Structure 1
Amino acid sequence: MTSVGFDEYVAHARQHFEEGLIRAGFREVEAGWEGPVPHSAVTTRVVIDLPPRFPFRPPRVAPVDHDAVPWSWHRDPDGGLCLVAEDDHEGLWWMEASAFLEHVTAWFEHADTGWTDDRPDLDLDRYFHQSTDRRLYLYDDLGQYLNRSVRFSPAGNNTMRIRHGTRPRKALKHSKDRFGYVADLGEVDVPPRTWADISARLDSNAELDRIIRQQSVAVVVLVYRRGTHEGAIVLDVAPTKEDGTAVTRLRSGADTEAARSARAGVLAPALRESRVAVVGLGALGSFIADMLVRSGVRHLTLIDDDVVMPGNLVRHLVGPDTIGLPKVEAVKRHLVRQNEALAGGIVIINGALTSGTDAVDHLRNHDLVVNATADFATTALLHVSARTVGTRVLSAALQNDGRTYRIDVLPPLDDAAPLPPSTTRADTEAPPLFEAGCGSPISPTPPHAVIEAAAVTVRHAIGLLVDRPLHPAGETRHLHSASQGSHQ
């Protein structure tokens, strides 16, 4: 689409929407388009404004009389109606005025009934302007600080971290700490928009107002609830000349185990107690271990006898600071650095898996063993051991210079047939490269193939751990890439 075509598309969309408003009884005014919205035997007059980015952003709607509509979590700080959630943009459905006005009518009808069965969004932050202090304020479990004074101290990456403490009687000359207070706002049906709204809800409002005026407190952390959900907001507060309190919001976030795992997926709680062994911590195995942890697994055994070499880094999980370390130690350091809670849950074995006794022990002591060695002898050893124990191994490998990944469930579930043997494709684009001796050549497998294969392996692993297998025998896939397209 050319720039002219784009401009014509936007102009047509705007004109089409405005014509629909005219048919619905709206008229153009200075603030936008004013007209009636009938609902529940009454009619509310609103102003609809089309933003500059329309139709790619929805129209804004505000009642002509702001106080004629009850304030709720479904109104913006400026009085506008909160109509379109961020996850409701599919198809730009609001481009049709009739459909959009039906949505506005539904909003008013929900407001008339008090928003029964409301989704408990915890978005109190949007009702306050952002502070000029752009640091990130981090807090852990706020229950230990409730109704107490705290201090925020500078930490790395432009952050401030909470800890116990009160402002000393005599100011410390070089202190960069900021002092605050943690209070419970309780159940919040209507979001507060000013300090007066907040103060009226707090049992200890007189005392908190006093220490704010004395500048003993510059930060207030508010814990609040909506139904069974809890939220928190961190505010920058300061006394004003008019004997009031100016309040803005600080950028803040919880640094807790719950916050770190909230985006791990719905199966994360079920995986928390799973015990998984990863044999082979090369490129593929390292990313498998990482994604298992990110998905919720908290008990890992890492098994490998190799060390990190400079040439490994382009495809491996770890960085140059680990060169020379055993791969199991390097991967454990990385995982623990990302999540300190893992420190006691990761066991490392700096050695190869060579005996049936060790294989059987691992199979019996873990819910799943993932083999990422790409070594025939290790794969066969684990397969035979799994048959003996009556359990299964998930074996993953990249083949054909990264053009194929193969994931085998060994032995297959429900007596299913195993995957057919993989076909080998000759690489004619470049001669093989050997680092030394008569070992195997360096594989030109690209990093993206490693990560893709690791992701699919983890999906199969999770399926086995929660007893929802993706396939009884596994999966084979041929990958396409620009550099290898001639071989497909």
Structure 2
Amino acid sequence: MGQIQIKHQEKLKKLVEEDMLNPLLSSGSAFDTSKTVLWQWLNKNADVVKTLALKDLSIYGNNRFICGWMIVITTSNQTFKFHILLDTYFPYSPIRIAYKTNDFFLKWPHVEPNGLLCLPAENNNGIEEKIYKNLFNAIELIENCQNSEQFREKEFQDEFISYWNHSTGSVQINSLLDISNTTSRLIYIWSDSKFKLVGESIEQIESWLKHEGFDFNLSIVTTGIFGFLHKPPIPPFPQKPINFIKALAKNSNNITELLAKIPFNESALIVLGAKTANSGTGLIAVELSAQSINGFRRKKLYRDRINLLLRKKRGFLNRKNIQRLDAQWVHGRDQNEGLKALQNAKVLVLGCGSLGSQVAMRLAQSGVGNITLIDHDTLVPANVGRHALGVNSVGKFKSTELKREIRKKYPHIQTIKSYCKTWQQVYTEKSDVFNNNSLIISCMGEWTAEGQLSDWQDSLMTPHPIIYGWLDENGTASHAVAIVNQSISLKCIINENGILRNPETIWEKGGLMQTEPACGTSFQPYGPLDVVHAEALITRVAIEFLTNKISSSTHYVYAGSTSKIKDAKGEWSTEHLKYRPIGFEGAFEYEKSLLSKCQICEQCKKI
């Protein structure tokens, strides 16, 4: 052990010497001048100040503090001994403080190994203010821990996951469990050499694994238990099964009854949820080892009481880390109030090009549970610079590749389908695809297709909400038109030639369309940053509609800067200038909520 410690100190000494040759840490650097200010303040205000030797710094291991001091401070009540520690990022990193009077790791909250204190981040200006406030917080924490059992319990409970995981090098478990359901219940576990996955049903686990590209083998699925604790656990944690099971009986509902049903010769994984007063809900896990079957009949089913008794008397337990991958956590850390509506929503996306692909990806990322993609085109290299897909998808159908990519990125999505055809072909062959959708989003960018879609929408007896999205010439403006009822038609906004009746922009030569050296290859020269604004606008309008924040037809516009449209040889229209603040030349967004019938289109004439 002595040789190992010497080698570690020599390595640390070498690293410190190398750091001191670093111009960021050398004489006159921010590190050097700030360290001097700190040292002077300590000498002025502490009772004792001693520079820490390398062996003192080495105990903190990977924190790699390169210098520090031992100080003693006496208050009216007691004397405190601290280490003041600096790393290579100081003064831009916090000053760390370790309490050196006794070892209170897992006895007091916010105390890490070797006495390092986890203190609130301070944004005070100046080194002197920072060290003063840090020491004040350190002394306040120590006195609260010394004097108040209620304080210790509350602080442990608020961050119970950190303390549970701190004391074990356990294997990662991933959870798909719905923690809004606090009922104690049996759950399902899939595991291989890499990780464990726990879920509510075999079907849920199979879907998630297949989306991620794993082979699913039903024979390796086992059962475990999920339950909620009345109060978050605090140290010292149970070390033996008997103590753990007794704690469960007092602090939960029916978990021990479920545990009794798992044969004692099988390991039992128990996932536990607990709600804190200030920090939301957290998950922890425990695995109880399988018990030897020696002396028992292998095929005999033993009574629940025997199973539980043997669990208490034999074996051992392991605390486990668990990582939440359920939709509630991934899509908003339990704070997304509209998530349930989004998960139940069914959205049909028409057009998976540069705009539609980004919108579909963002919908999945926002938590929409059911998405259908329609696009008949393949990806070409020139699309890649502004598309959600990369070069590995060139030559393949956009809708199929986008489905694969979304499924892999967001494997908890409930359903995602794709059709490599035009929307008219899909409608002719399988019209039910267009029924029972919460919303249709059209990003096709072709009036021949969207004009017919608008005719179809106008012909329906009951409303089928559609959001039409596109970019203006050269990406200077973006549009999201939500036609959610039959009070107005898209034709009231766009004429029979696919041109806005009241355009935002004015162009010479049709907006300076660009062409490739081939027939029928004209395109608008907008880039990925222009698409970002458009997809954010369209997705936001979609999310607001799906969460009942939009109930009437409306038209949102994102307009870029005046300098951008001038560079593209265009100008803002009189219609646009009604909304642009006088003298303002930057980018902004606005809503045209007072949509009115044009009295010109066929839909208006029909009514």
Q: TM-score normalised to the size of structure 1?
A: 0.67
Residues 145-156 of structure 1 mapped to structure 2, 5 A cutoff: 152-154=191-193
Q: Is the contact between residue 26 and residue 36 of structure 1 (CA under 8 Å) also seen in structure 2? A: yes
**Shift of the alpha carbon at 1:192?**
4.8
Aligned equivalent of 1:304: 375
User: Which stretch of the first structure deviates more once superposed, 51-60 or 445-454?
Assistant: 445-454
Q: Which one has a bigger Cα radius of gyration?
A: 2
How large is the RMSD of aligned CA atoms in angstroms? 5.5
* Helix, strand or coil at the partner of 1:281: coil
2:168 paired with 1:123: no
Q: 1:151 to 1:277 in 2, by over 3 A?
A: closer
**Shift of the alpha carbon at 1:462?**
1.5
| C-alpha distance in 1 between matches for 2:439 and 2:360 | 12
Aligned equivalent of 2:244: 202
2:131 paired with 1:97: yes
Aligned equivalent of 2:110: 74
| C-alpha distance in 1 between matches for 2:363 and 2:554 | 20
Q: Is the contact between residue 20 and residue 98 of structure 1 (CA under 8 Å) also seen in structure 2? A: no
Q: Is the contact between residue 408 and residue 419 of structure 1 (CA under 8 Å) also seen in structure 2? A: no
Q: 1:191 to 1:404 in 2, by over 3 A?
A: farther
| C-alpha distance in 2 between matches for 1:125 and 1:152 | 22
| C-alpha distance in 2 between matches for 1:90 and 1:346 | 49
* Helix, strand or coil at the partner of 1:453: helix
2:547 paired with 1:466: yes
Q: Is the contact between residue 175 and residue 324 of structure 2 (CA under 8 Å) also seen in structure 1? A: yes
Aligned equivalent of 2:283: 231
Q: Is the contact between residue 240 and residue 317 of structure 2 (CA under 8 Å) also seen in structure 1? A: no
* Helix, strand or coil at the partner of 1:81: coil
| C-alpha distance in 1 between matches for 2:441 and 2:521 | 23
**Shift of the alpha carbon at 1:60?**
2.3
| C-alpha distance in 2 between matches for 1:163 and 1:126 | 18
Q: 1:89 to 1:405 in 2, by over 3 A?
A: farther
* Helix, strand or coil at the partner of 1:58: coil
Q: 1:92 to 1:30 in 2, by over 3 A?
A: same
What code does the residue aligned with 2:546 have? L
Q: 1:351 to 1:64 in 2, by over 3 A?
A: same
Aligned equivalent of 2:591: none
2:469 paired with 1:396: yes
**Shift of the alpha carbon at 1:291?**
0.9
Deviations 1:315-343 (A, max 9, x none): 33345665555433332233233344435
Q: Is the contact between residue 72 and residue 190 of structure 1 (CA under 8 Å) also seen in structure 2? A: no
Q: Is the contact between residue 234 and residue 250 of structure 1 (CA under 8 Å) also seen in structure 2? A: yes
Aligned equivalent of 1:47: 82
| C-alpha distance in 2 between matches for 1:419 and 1:398 | 15
2:501 paired with 1:408: no
2:93 paired with 1:57: yes
Aligned equivalent of 1:286: 357
Matching residue within 352, 368, 383 for 2:423: 352
Deviations 1:378-425 (A, max 9, x none): 445555766776675432223434x4241232459999x997423447
2:479 paired with 1:441: no
Aligned equivalent of 2:557: 475
Aligned equivalent of 2:234: 190
* Helix, strand or coil at the partner of 2:413: helix
Q: Is the contact between residue 275 and residue 281 of structure 2 (CA under 8 Å) also seen in structure 1? A: yes
| C-alpha distance in 2 between matches for 1:247 and 1:481 | 66
What code does the residue aligned with 1:34 have? I
What code does the residue aligned with 1:455 have? A
What code does the residue aligned with 1:478 have? G
| C-alpha distance in 2 between matches for 1:16 and 1:140 | 51
Aligned equivalent of 2:196: 161
Q: 1:183 to 1:468 in 2, by over 3 A?
A: closer
**Shift of the alpha carbon at 1:454?**
1.8
| C-alpha distance in 1 between matches for 2:479 and 2:468 | 6
| C-alpha distance in 1 between matches for 2:563 and 2:169 | 45
Q: 1:72 to 1:405 in 2, by over 3 A?
A: farther
Q: Is the contact between residue 105 and residue 111 of structure 2 (CA under 8 Å) also seen in structure 1? A: no
Deviations 1:254-301 (A, max 9, x none): 555555445597243342222322221112101111110110111223
Q: 1:249 to 1:390 in 2, by over 3 A?
A: closer
Q: Is the contact between residue 185 and residue 225 of structure 2 (CA under 8 Å) also seen in structure 1? A: no
Q: Is the contact between residue 400 and residue 426 of structure 1 (CA under 8 Å) also seen in structure 2? A: no
| C-alpha distance in 2 between matches for 1:378 and 1:428 | 21
* Helix, strand or coil at the partner of 1:50: strand
What code does the residue aligned with 2:71 have? E
Q: Is the contact between residue 241 and residue 317 of structure 2 (CA under 8 Å) also seen in structure 1? A: no
Aligned length: 436
Identity %: 17
Matching residue within 382, 387, 395 for 1:316: 387
Q: Is the contact between residue 345 and residue 370 of structure 2 (CA under 8 Å) also seen in structure 1? A: yes
**Shift of the alpha carbon at 1:13?**
2.5
Which is strand-richer, 1 or 2? 1
Aligned equivalent of 1:366: 437
Aligned equivalent of 1:169: none
Which is helix-richer, 1 or 2? 2
Q: Is the contact between residue 184 and residue 202 of structure 1 (CA under 8 Å) also seen in structure 2? A: no
Deviations 1:419-473 (A, max 9, x none): 7423447899996314x42x24244433444344323321232223224469953
| C-alpha distance in 1 between matches for 2:126 and 2:457 | 54
Matching residue within 504, 511, 536 for 1:421: 504
**Shift of the alpha carbon at 1:6?**
9.2
What code does the residue aligned with 2:540 have? R
What code does the residue aligned with 1:327 have? K
For structure 1, the 5+ residue unaligned runs are 165-176, 206-215, 238-244
Q: 1:325 to 1:425 in 2, by over 3 A?
A: same
Aligned equivalent of 2:538: 457
